[in-house]
Amino acid sequence: MADPHTQGAPGADGAEARDGQAAPLWGGRFRATPSADLTRFGASLPVDRRLWEEDIAGSKAHARMLGAQGILSEADVAAIVSGLDAVADEIREGRLAFDETVDEDIHMAVERRLTELVGSAGGRLHTARSRNDQVALDSRLAAKRLASGLMAACERLEAALLARAEAERETILPGYTHLQPAQPVRLAHHLLAYFWMLSRDWARLFAARRAADASPLGSAALAGTTYPLDRGATASELGFSSVIPNSLDAVSDRDFALDLIYASAMAMLHLSRLCEELVLWSSAEFGFVTMDDAHSTGSSIMPQKKNPDFAELVRGKTGRVYGDLMALLTTMKGLPLAYDKDLQEDKEPLFDAADTARQCLEVVAGMVETLAFNRARMREAAGEGLMAATDMADYLVSKGLPFREAHGAVGRLVARCVAEGKGLEDLALDEMRAESPLFDEDVYGWIELEAVVDRRATEGGTGAAPLAVQLALAEDELARQRAEAPAA
């Protein structure tokens, strides 16, 4: 029986070669083939050749299912599976030469080589299958794999942040708003802010992987097929949790790719913010951290320089991943159902975003693991900037003064300190009482650095007690992620 869903067999009649090209797999309907330049323009092989493992796995599952359904003979199935294993070995060992002037994509390259190895059985592999559901299948398998790798890299950075936070419970540094000293915080609290950002990234990656976890195979070109397929069998063999219930949606949906790129872009946003702070903190003006030599570079002209190049590069690569997201969003926005050639443009941004984000997550994890914190400088800076002003106002409130009046009184004391170049703790009690008689000797203990920090004892605050709770929550979150993470 002829297969109405195949796109031609190798050597199909009616497709004449041009410029030394072999006839394409879809050539039966055509009297001529595109030029070599057009063939290269239309080829996705330079990008999608990395899908070869997914393509071969999907083809083997499809062949076995066709055999189980009585559509292919046992001999054909055995020849196809054996031939696909041989093709896999050739690709893995670098013995299969790819050429986009011959093969449009990885799917055609694999099928062509399979047919060369096993003959007519290879031409029967495409029975009840279209490249439309084939490429959707391969892309979903790849998205699941890429998401798993990103989740593992994300978890490594989370673990690094948590480990450093555990070790820096007593380190105090300035907290900033508008990049101006605001209130002192514990370094552990600051690091955990990034931990929670990354935990949300992990959750987005998990959701993106789940979005890809449904099989399109068996949808054929767009309308399903006349063959009695068992879509559940191929889905199960390939590790999918379900099949996509609508064949039109199955071949045209790329939401899963957008989800993964978006999750990658959000992770890059958080990495960029962290790297921005590391760049600032490693400057001579801050002096809060020293980057490990292995995560820094020097200058070709200035011997004294130690540049945070890799942190800067992560910050710079963020725009690249944003571009990947915008590229695919724009590609998808006006496409009618079902498959359109535009969808060939989905893989490059998907691969680029996932590869870039994973590499950056691994680079930043290495940075965090090897950072040297300058605790003395952080504490010194936390004592600057009159950051106990809010607590001094709260002191007056505790004595019965309305907050707005307390704010004004302390504001005038701040102005005096600025004018005289001293800290609030340097003011004499008489100077304080000139603004409010409620000041007493205990105010000096009230505005000590540790007291200021530990007074932030509300849930989620930087005080010692809520910090201990937060660290325990972070440990639980990391343990949950490790338990729920799918195999890579």
Q: Which residues are tagged catalytic?
A: 178, 299
* Residue 215 phi, psi (nearest 5): -90, 130
Please, which residues bridge with residue 290 across strands? Answer: 372
The residue to which tokens 């009585």 are assigned: 70
Asked if residue 12 lies in contact with residue 74, where contact means CB atoms within 8 angstroms, the answer is no
Q: What is the DSSP code (8-state) at residue 101?
A: T
3-state DSSP assignment of residue 413: helix
β-pairing verdict for 180-186 and 172-177: antiparallel
Q: What is the DSSP code (8-state) at residue 293?
A: G
Instruction: Decide: residue 26, CB within 10 A, 0-12 exposed, 13-18 middle, 19+ buried.
Output: middle
Among 359, 351, 357, 488, which Cα is nearest to 48's? 351
Q: Provide the token pair at 302.
A: 């200035």
d(CA 209, CA 227): 30
C-alpha dist (Å) from residue 198 to 54, 159, 203, 224, 260: 29, 10, 9, 41, 15
d(CA 467, CA 372): 22
Asked if residue 250 lies in contact with residue 212, where contact means CB atoms within 8 angstroms, the answer is no
3-state DSSP assignment of residue 2: coil
The residue to which tokens 């030029």 are assigned: 35
Among 182, 234, 286, 221, which Cα is nearest to 66's? 234
Asked if residue 283 lies in contact with residue 308, where contact means CB atoms within 8 angstroms, the answer is no
Among 16, 58, 12, 13, which Cα is nearest to 34's? 16
d(CA 453, CA 186): 7
